[in-house]
Structure 1
Amino acid sequence: MEMFDLSLIWAVIIGFGVIMYVLMDGFDLGVGILFPFAPDEESRDVMMNSVAPVWDGNETWLVLGGAGLLGAFPLVYSVFLPALYIGVFLMLAGLIFRGIAFEFRFKSRKNRHWWNRAFCWGSAVAAFAQGAVVGTYIQGFAVEDFVYVGGALDWLTPFTVITGLGLMAGYALLGATWLIMKSEGHIQAWAYRITPPLLVAVLAVFFIISLWTPFVDTSVRDRWFGHLHLIWIFPFLALACAALLWRAVKQRREGQPFIATLGVFVFTYLGLVVSKWPVIVPPNHTIWDAASAPGSQLFLLLGMLFVIPIVLAYTAWTYWVFRGKVKVGEGYH
């Protein structure tokens, strides 16, 4: 008998990696989504400079979570990738275009508008693809004997389109509140202006998905309307964070809107986790079904125990070094 449940430990590690990626990379994807709506080119310079020092470090969590998932739960890859090849390709292509735009936009004068589009569309496509993947996880896969048997476009349904658009709105909200914290003057005023409509859009999508999900997955309906009434605390806490965000924007607070938006994401994510737990490959394969051999999990865990503290320390140090406002004419480049 094992002293520790390695599959459970790995589920916590990967769950932590996923939410760290969503929070860290979410706001810079949101800045990219908002790029075309900025007041002027000067504002776009500030927007990009606000995330340029940290965006690549933020994506470390995507690599960490993806590598850990492959090593600890190989069944997830054997089902998810065939089901989501096109969605994952779109996400990676979007991230590549966005990454290239960071470097080339500041070096190009004549063709800067093309790099603006690459930054915007790369961010938007990556965000939509991530949201669609989440929607596909909620609605489930066609799996027989641990093998995906559905089609290449089964992941693209009206429900996943809504979840994709919802995550785009959520990331845009993160980006707007990040700009409130990091900018000043007319750029900050613009960020204050667009935050309430974005919050309304996020809450509207949240409401639609909440009504739709019980019809997509009956196990979620049974769990939420069964005996586990304590899980209702997560949507209430998410709504409380939304109310705090609204008040903070009206009071012209600078740091609180971003923190409150992070809270909306965290509690929504926890609500999703408890809705599906312990299923990791829908419709009914649990983390223990998907787990690799205990020896493999232990070997990887020993390495991860060194990597995670280093990544956390590096992340904290980077944000500390680049703290404060990003001013016009100053920045990373």
Structure 2
Amino acid sequence: MDVTVIWAAIIALGLFIYVALDGFDLGIGLIFPFFPLDAERDLMMHSIAPVWDGNETWLVLGGAALFAAFPTVYSVALSALYLPIVFMLVCLIFRGVSFEIREKANRTRNLWNLAFIGGSAGATFFQGTILGSYLHGIPVSNGVFSGDPFFWVTPFSFFTGMGLMATYALLGATFLVLKTEGDLQRRMHRLVWPLTLVLLVFIVAVTVWTPLADSQVASRWFDSSFRIRLHPVPVLVAIVAVLMFKAVVQRRDSAPFILALLLVLLGYIGLLVSIWPFAIPNSMTLWEGAAPHSSLTFTLIGAVIIIPIILAYTTAGYWVFRGKVHRGTHD
């Protein structure tokens, strides 16, 4: 296989794992305001305490892999999206600090609650903004970013920011259905279907907006061989939505979380098909942005060693802390 495609697949997989894992713990921060009791908030925090920082490993891996395998893409993307990336990182810092301090705080606990909520919401929104700006297209000239520092401030990028907030909120609610029980779990179940409907609205809106805004995406969707590959996606989304409704009605524990992940996966597949074979949509292909073949091959050896290690300790962490969380649980 083409080593460039292998590296693209590694980065795509790493980003999906990040969205799946860090998505639910950021989502818990998004639904935090709807549960004002300290005892419930403590339980929500304890459900992710053993894993939240490890989840962010995949974001670091994605950035490092992009730098190693696609340095030109890394340079262009970082130059273009410097401001939203910095805003996202600041929000993640506030969120991480609040996570550690809130447990010990008394008089300032409400302040740290706000920092946790704001950090989670801000990080999610700016991740969605980055995604929308990337899909909309980054201006590139002679291999360097040639746009305005605020080119990412568009209605579409803000819309995708809100869409990712809905996505993460659904992941957070379904994860808490999996991890909690009793009254808190019942209230989480009541959140799942409305959040699913909101996410479906965003999926439909982005599906309509994207080809209307980008003629090349429209061409790939409707006039090329990719059309056949995309046909099953909306059907599968509808099937997953029906299964989600049944899972909520039947008060299932694990099914809502699995189905929420499937919705995210289907949207992600649609995104990847839409931009293929570009590393930067409509500006730079994967091969144009890739490092030399010798560099790709050399760094791939390191990836083959390190990725199984990350997968192993991530899996071990979730296995050790599997099961329900209860009142009085501490990280």
CA contact (8 A) 2:138 2:283 kept: no
Q: Does the Cα contact within 8 Å between 1:235 and 1:271 map onto a contact in 2?
A: no
Once the two structures are TM-superposed, the CA of residue 291 in structure 1 deviates from its matched residue by: 0.3
**Partner residue in 2 for 1:126:** 123
Structure 1 residue runs of 4 or more that deviate by more than 4 Å after TM superposition: none
- State the partner residue of 2:35: 38
Which residue number corresponds to residue 249 of structure 2? 250
Quick one: distance in 1 between partners of 2:171 and 2:86? 24
Task: Within 5 Å, give how 1:44-123 maps onto structure 2.
Answer: 44-123=41-120
Instruction: Please give the alpha-carbon distance, in whole angstroms, between the structure 1 residues aligned to 2:91 and 2:38.
Output: 22
Which of 161, 164, 170 is the equivalent residue of 1:173? 170
Q: Work out the CA distance in 1 between the residues paired with 2:128 and 2:238.
A: 20
Residue 303 of structure 1 corresponds to 302
Q: Which letter does structure 2 place at the counterpart of 1:231?
A: L
Q: Give the Å deviation of 1:55.
A: 0.7
Separation in 2, partners of 1:246, 1:326 = 25
- In 2, the alpha carbon distance for the partners of 1:174 and 1:239 equals 18
> 1:325 is paired with a residue of what secondary structure?
coil
The correspondence of residues 271-282 of structure 1 with structure 2, limited to 5 A, is 271-282=270-281
Alignment correspondent of 1:29 = 26
Question: What whole-Å deviation, never above 9, does each CA across 1:62-99 have from its counterpart, x for those lacking one?
Answer: 11111000010011121111111111011111111111
Structure 2 CA distance for aligned equivalents of residues 219 and 161 of structure 1: 22
Partner residue of 2:208 out of 190, 206, 211: 211
**1:239 deviation in Å?**
2.7
Relative to the length of structure 1, the TM-score reads 0.97
DSSP-derived class of the 1:280 partner: strand
Q: CA deviation at 1:238?
A: 2.5
Shift of 1:39: 4.6
Structure 2 residue 218 is matched with structure 1 residue 221: yes
In structure 1, give the amino acid aligned to 2:135. Answer: I
The one-letter code of the counterpart of 2:64 is: A
State which of 153, 156, 159 in structure 2 corresponds to 1:162. Answer: 159
Question: What one-letter code is carried by the residue in structure 1 that aligns with 2:275?
Answer: K
Task: Report the TM-score when normalising by structure 2.
Answer: 0.97
The CA deviation string for residues 24-66 of structure 1, in whole angstroms up to 9 with x for no partner, is: 1000000011111115111110111101100111111111111
- CA distance in 2 between counterparts of 1:71 and 1:250 reads 47
Query: CA RMSD for the aligned pairs?
Result: 1.0
| Partner residue in 2 for 1:265 | 264
Give the letter aligned to residue 246 of structure 1: F
Question: What is the aligned length?
Answer: 329
Aligned equivalents of 1:145, 1:230: Cα separation in 2: 33
DSSP-derived class of the 2:279 partner: strand
Task: Give the drift of 1:123.
Answer: 0.6
How big is the shift at 1:13?
0.5
CA distance in 2, matches of 1:245, 1:213: 26
The Cα of 1:235 is off from its aligned counterpart by 2.8
Which stretches in structure 2 are left out of the alignment for 5+ residues?
none
Instruction: Decide whether the 8 Å contact of 1:21 with 1:61 is kept in 2.
Output: yes
User: In structure 1, what is the equivalent of residue 236 of structure 2?
Assistant: 237
The Cα of 1:184 is off from its aligned counterpart by: 1.1
The percent of aligned pairs where both chains have the same amino acid is: 49
1:147-201 deviations in Å (ceiling 9; x for gaps): 1111111111001111000000000000000010001112111101111111111
Is the contact between residue 46 and residue 327 of structure 1 (CA under 8 Å) also seen in structure 2? yes
Pairwise CA distance, 1:104: 0.2
Amino acid at match of 1:121: G
Q: Alpha-carbon deviations, 1:193-229, whole Å to 9, x = none?
A: 1111111111111111111111221111111112422
The 8 Å contact of residues 140 and 283 in structure 2, kept in 1 or not, is answered as no
Deviation at 1:312, TM superposition (A): 0.7
Is this contact kept in 1: 2:216–2:282, CA < 8 A? no
Q: Which amino acid aligns with 1:199?
A: T
Equivalent-residue separation in structure 2 for 1:196 and 1:331 (angstroms): 30
User: Which residue identity is paired with 2:288?
Assistant: D
Following the alignment from structure 2 to structure 1, what is the Cα–Cα distance between the partners of residues 13 and 292?
Answer: 22
Aligned mates of 2:78, 2:285 — CA distance in 1: 18
> What are the Cα deviations for residues 282-327 of structure 1, in whole angstroms up to 9, with x where unaligned?
2231110000111211121111101111111111110010001111
Counterpart code for 2:19: V
C-alpha contact 1:128 1:164 (8 A) present in aligned 2? yes
Matched, 1:285 2:255: no
Q: CA deviation at 1:133?
A: 1.0
Amino acid at match of 1:25: D
Q: Which amino acid aligns with 1:279?
A: F
Matches within 5 A, 1:170-209: 170-209=167-206
